Structure 1
Amino acid sequence: MQQLALKVKEAADYLKEQIEELPHIGLILGSGLGDLADEIEGAVRVEYSTIPHFPVSTVEGHAGRLVMGTLQGKKVIAMQGRFHYYEGYSMQEVTFPVRVMKELGAETLVVTNACGGMNPSFQPGDLMVIEDHINMTGTNPLIGRNDEKMGPRFPDMSQAYDETLRKTAVNAAESLGFSLQKGVYAGISGPAFMTGAELIMLRNLGGDVVGMSTVSEVIAARHAGLKVLGISCITDMAVGEEIEGVSHEEVMETAAKTKPRFISLVKQILSSI
């Protein structure tokens, strides 16, 4: 991890040259939700391809740039597009931006995603605050030699998602006139959507939604000492007994329809942090 620490510092030093004030809040904007970054005031936009050691997003709906500036009076750094393990990146590469956010001074990470709903009481278009997660990716971004300067060898994940931030999200939604679902995010490696039997298994294990991101980013964030809030947009139903199939285009379509409400929610949360 010592080599990783050097790469993180080089990337952060490059970004520090682009901005006058360092961010306090990091935002990871999931599929179809990148438009929130367009509302950042005094924005400095930096393409991933120009940042030392940064991977490049290859997924449709992920723009591939960092946006730094002010949103709801808070200094933020937002990822317009994230990296996924299924794209062929290592877990350290997937979580590299989280490390850079920490190096820049971020203390809080708000991570968003599009996911499938396994809880039959959910429906497409619902927003869910993540209470906990199940790591079903088969790997972990902390595997390998640990650098104590970046975080402890055995970080505690019992409170991965900050309770105060979760309450803030629930209150923010209520102030906007709607309710948030609450539940457990089951993280898988992807890129294939799951079989009916696999979905039933995940639901029986305690998962309410399933997705191909977020878990590794949250593990790295907690390792680095960041407080984390996770919000999921349920774009399709993934109930094993009733599975009808889904496409990435359908996911993007539902995410786009939900986007205005999702953006309003995140902005309201930021104003309350």
Structure 2
Amino acid sequence: MRALISKCLLGVACRYDGGAKYCNAVVDFANKLDKLTVCPEIAAQLPVPRPPAEQQGTCVVYKDGTDVTQEFVDGAQQELLRTKDFEPTIAVLKAKSPSCGVDRVFDGSFTGNLVLGDGIFTQLLKREEMCVVTEEMLEDVKPSVEHPVAIVLGTGLGHLASLVAPVRRIDYHDIDGFPMSAEPVSGHKFEATVGTVDGVPVVVYPGRIHLYQGYSAAEVVSLVRHAHRLGCKDIIFACATGVIDGNATPGLGVLTDHINLTGANPLADKDMLRDLDTPFVGMQDAYSFYLRSLAQGVAKDLGIKLQEGVYAGTLGPSFETAAEVAMLRSFGVSYVGMSTVCEVIMAHALGMNVLGLTLATNDAGDPTVNHETIRIQAEKHADDFERLVRGVLHLL
């Protein structure tokens, strides 16, 4: 996998003040992949040290008022040419700067105030549809004992739990909000494992309950709330799905967005407000672009075909009619299943970083499909799924 990384984050003294912004999380990440180091200001041959610069509208100015917009544009364009030759998957750039800031930049008042916007170089990268993040994202998603990665597994994918070096096990029935009477369906197990996979701290939930079993949305998301209370910042949801012919093909996929057709929402429950400031949560970017990009980079390195697509969550337990499949195809849906959407809504509302992975086991609406055939097909792809998840955990 290849990544662009700001030189200053790796310890190169190229910032305006003659220093660097060394970041351990970025250095650790850089040591696991091929990297191209970048600095638009150095590419523009601006001196080090130099006066501090910030964006004022569409311009970049020094603190004394000198307009250096053209220099910043020239440097950004030069680095973009190098970027296109290198073909990276992800860019990790210095937060807030007029060249490399992502989503927020200093406002030009030189008082430390921030405004919404991207740096000059970041704007060019986003036009190329590249995932661009800052060192703050890498620091936030980096797993630790205090912040393990949560992994919720679906039908036929529970074998990943056997890879965990366990520290403790937690019966689902001991989890607050999980229904005491619940029994697992075939291919699920109701015991969470806290431990490590390849040295990465994780909490693995090898099964889930579903709305179609008669449980409420609040009960369905009890595992997500539990993971959040354990300190998990990142959560991986895995599910078996049907594929909408014409929009995707059977195999592994990463979810980019979803359509909630279950008729339920976990935030429409007064008890959920114990964990939330408000139930009115925006769902833009519910599926982390950064984690999706990591998964795509890992899949490419491992030779695993990994598609992308929109997921439609239905109530179930009946499978889709021909008319429903046609409707979903017209909606741009690639995958359809009976889980995940309520869990993702809850995780996003709690501020967790979400990666949605699916194994599309069959064509949606196939009259020969049943729960057992889905489980069998999922198990056939278990090896690639495990390699993909382990690769993502390694990069985190």
TM-score using structure 1 length? 0.86
Match of 2:297 in 1: 171
Match of 1:13 in 2: none
Match of 1:127 in 2: 252
Alignment of 1:45 with 2:169, yes or no, is yes
Whole-Å separation in 1 of the counterparts to 2:183 and 2:259:
24
1:32, distance to aligned residue in structure 2 (A): 0.9
Match of 1:159 in 2: 285
1:153, distance to aligned residue in structure 2 (A): 2.4
Which of 197, 201, 224 aligns to 2:323? It is 197
1:100, distance to aligned residue in structure 2 (A): 1.1
Q: Which moved more, 1:56-65 or 1:132-141?
A: 56-65
Alignment of 1:67 with 2:198, yes or no, is no
For residue 305 of structure 2, give the secondary structure of its aligned residue in structure 1.
coil
Whole-Å separation in 1 of the counterparts to 2:169 and 2:290:
30
1:45, distance to aligned residue in structure 2 (A): 2.0
Whole-Å separation in 2 of the counterparts to 1:32 and 1:53:
25
Match of 1:256 in 2: 379
Q: Map 1:21-40 to 2 at 5 A.
A: 21-40=145-164
Match of 1:270 in 2: 393
1:73, distance to aligned residue in structure 2 (A): 2.3
Is the contact between residue 254 and residue 306 of structure 2 (CA under 8 Å) also seen in structure 1?
A: yes
Is the contact between residue 61 and residue 81 of structure 1 (CA under 8 Å) also seen in structure 2?
A: yes
Whole-Å separation in 2 of the counterparts to 1:149 and 1:62:
27
Match of 2:205 in 1: 79
The 1:148–1:94 alpha-carbon spacing in structure 2 relative to 1, beyond 3 Å, is closer
For residue 208 of structure 1, give the secondary structure of its aligned residue in structure 2.
strand
Is the contact between residue 175 and residue 223 of structure 2 (CA under 8 Å) also seen in structure 1?
A: no
Identity %: 40
Is the contact between residue 57 and residue 82 of structure 1 (CA under 8 Å) also seen in structure 2?
A: no
Match of 1:6 in 2: none
**Match of 1:140, as an amino acid?**
N
The 1:51–1:244 alpha-carbon spacing in structure 2 relative to 1, beyond 3 Å, is closer
Count of residue pairs the alignment pairs up: 249
Match of 2:229 in 1: 103
Match of 1:247 in 2: 370
Q: Which moved more, 1:51-60 or 1:136-145?
A: 51-60
Match of 1:208 in 2: 334
For residue 175 of structure 1, give the secondary structure of its aligned residue in structure 2.
helix
Match of 1:137 in 2: 262
Whole-Å separation in 1 of the counterparts to 2:183 and 2:344:
19
The 1:52–1:209 alpha-carbon spacing in structure 2 relative to 1, beyond 3 Å, is closer
1:121, distance to aligned residue in structure 2 (A): 5.6
Deviations 1:161-196 (A, max 9, x none): 000000000001111112210100000010111111
Deviations 1:11-64 (A, max 9, x none): xxxxxxxxxx44421100111111111111134222223445423343111011
Gapped regions of structure 2 (runs ≥ 5): 1-144
* Cα RMSD after superposing both structures: 1.6
Is the contact between residue 58 and residue 87 of structure 1 (CA under 8 Å) also seen in structure 2?
A: no
The 1:206–1:57 alpha-carbon spacing in structure 2 relative to 1, beyond 3 Å, is farther
Q: Which moved more, 1:250-259 or 1:113-122?
A: 113-122
Match of 1:232 in 2: 358
Match of 2:347 in 1: 221
Whole-Å separation in 1 of the counterparts to 2:275 and 2:219:
18
Match of 2:50 in 1: none
Whole-Å separation in 2 of the counterparts to 1:151 and 1:78:
27
For residue 218 of structure 1, give the secondary structure of its aligned residue in structure 2.
helix
1:97, distance to aligned residue in structure 2 (A): 1.0
Whole-Å separation in 2 of the counterparts to 1:30 and 1:225:
22
1:144, distance to aligned residue in structure 2 (A): 3.0
Match of 1:7 in 2: none
Is the contact between residue 172 and residue 178 of structure 2 (CA under 8 Å) also seen in structure 1?
A: yes
Gapped regions of structure 1 (runs ≥ 5): 1-20
1:197, distance to aligned residue in structure 2 (A): 0.7
